[in-house]
């Protein structure tokens, strides 16, 4: 059965109250989780803790926080604290950031980003599993353990765009978190790389993918909104490279062609809530377990409340799509109906 989608607040909020309508929408709609991304304004862990204190104790995730910002021990404490505060399962997702960002904090870019991620995730996971660690690696040093406390499950996630990092996530992550990755690219490129990296593990990481969504409405130009929602990511080399690998011809000198490519490839989904819910099935068929509905276009153009309302409509449409699927599955497994009684026979 297709799982419920999750809700993503994709910007850097100035105050946790800007995220509260998304948390409320996630709760009302029965969405799977509320996700935040890295913020240098209202910090994501503190924002989610604030929302939990306001009564929004929904499952949460970070997609993704930047690992150079904190030692894995501190990251494990932060993630476990959220799990204790919400009482719900969470995902702690990590990514590297740009080489310039890494150099600004550590003095130089990572010589091996994959090794940095692998070591970080391994230490983080071991701490949450109650292990005592003695790690003296190139990118962090750690000796010790966390005090044992019962808490809801915390999954460790890795930001993934290209096959190399997918193989690393396959080795060390519970969740591979992707942004703007078309279904075909997920199925043909990233999913096989995750399975390759996970050889020897009980199972590969599940896939959580953020998907841009915008419903059609009077006055909305889908092409303009597609470009507005993706502009910052398209300007970064690793996203542009990923999209070219995926066969999506993005070109900074051809905005109209880029907008068409984003819409045609499913990187940005538009239509009625029901049409978007149907289009999201292609992501599930590609192997995505959790879809993060990303309403950047509406959030940027119409504000928080319009975006939260839109997300709630799409979640409802996804749940409505599930009901016929569930009925069909139930029918396949139902006990056979009794044979009709012969004419004139009384049933007693």
Provide the β-strand partners of residue 212: 268, 294
Report how far residue 174's alpha carbon sits from residue 208's, in angstroms, rounded to the nearest whole number. Answer: 10
Residue 93 β-bridge partners: 157
In a 3-state reduction of DSSP, which class is residue 69? helix
For the chain, give the number of residues: 348
Q: Is 87 helix (H, G, I), strand (E, B) or coil?
A: coil
Residue found under tokens 């449409």: 317
Separation between Cα atoms, residue 259 and residue 229, nearest integer Å: 10
Q: What is the pLDDT along the chain (348 residues), one digit of tens a residue?
A: 678 999 999 999 999 999 999 999 999 999 999 999 999 999 999 999 999 999 999 999 999 999 999 999 999 999 999 999 999 999 999 999 999 999 999 999 999 999 999 999 999 999 999 999 999 999 999 999 999 999 999 999 999 999 999 999 999 999 999 999 999 999 999 999 999 999 999 999 999 999 999 999 999 999 999 999 999 999 999 999 999 999 999 999 999 999 999 999 999 999 999 999 999 999 999 999 999 999 999 999 999 999 999 999 999 999 998 766 555 555 554 444 443 333 332 222
Which neighbouring-strand residues pair with 36?
A: 9, 62
**Confidence (pTM):** 0.92
Query: Which residues are bridge partners to 293 per DSSP?
Result: 7, 211
């Amino acid at each position: 059965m297709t799982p419920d989608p999750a809700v993503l607040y994709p910007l850097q909020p100035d105050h946790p109250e800007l995220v509260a309508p998304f948390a409320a929408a996630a709760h009302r709609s029965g969405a799977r989780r509320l996700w935040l991304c890295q913020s240098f304004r209202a910090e994501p862990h503190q924002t989610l803790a604030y929302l939990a204190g306001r009564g929004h104790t929904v499952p949460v995730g970070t997609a993704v926080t930047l690992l150079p910002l904190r030692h894995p021990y501190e990251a494990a404490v932060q993630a476990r604290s959220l799990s204790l505060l919400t009482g719900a399962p969470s995902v702690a997702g990590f990514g590297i950031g740009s080489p310039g960002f890494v150099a600004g904090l550590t003095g130089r870019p990572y010589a091996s980003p994959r090794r940095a991620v692998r070591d970080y995730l391994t230490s983080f996971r071991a701490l949450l599993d109650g292990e005592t660690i003695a790690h003296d690696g190139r990118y962090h040093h750690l000796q010790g353990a966390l005090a044992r406390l019962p808490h809801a499950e915390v999954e460790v996630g890795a930001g993934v765009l290209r096959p190399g990092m997918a193989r690393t996530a396959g080795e060390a992550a519970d969740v591979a978190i992707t942004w703007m990755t078309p279904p075909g690219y997920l199925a043909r490129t990233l999913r096989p790389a995750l399975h390759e990296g996970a050889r020897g593990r009980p199972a590969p990481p599940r896939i959580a993918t953020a998907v841009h969504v915008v419903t059609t409405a009077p006055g909305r130009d889908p092409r303009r909104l597609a470009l507005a929602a993706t502009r910052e990511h398209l300007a970064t080399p690793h996203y542009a490279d990923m999209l070219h690998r995926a066969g999506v011809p993005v070109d900074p000198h051809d905005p109209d062609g880029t907008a068409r490519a984003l819409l045609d490839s499913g990187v940005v989904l538009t239509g009625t809530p029901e049409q978007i819910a149907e289009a999201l099935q292609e992501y599930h068929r590609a192997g995505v377990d959790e879809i993060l509905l990303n309403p950047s276009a509406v959030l940027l153009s119409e504000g928080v409340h319009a975006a939260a309302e839109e997300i709630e409509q799409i979640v409802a449409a996804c749940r409505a799509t599930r009901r016929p699927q569930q009925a069909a599955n139930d029918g396949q497994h139902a006990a056979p109906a009794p044979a009709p009684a012969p004419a004139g026979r009384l049933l007693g």
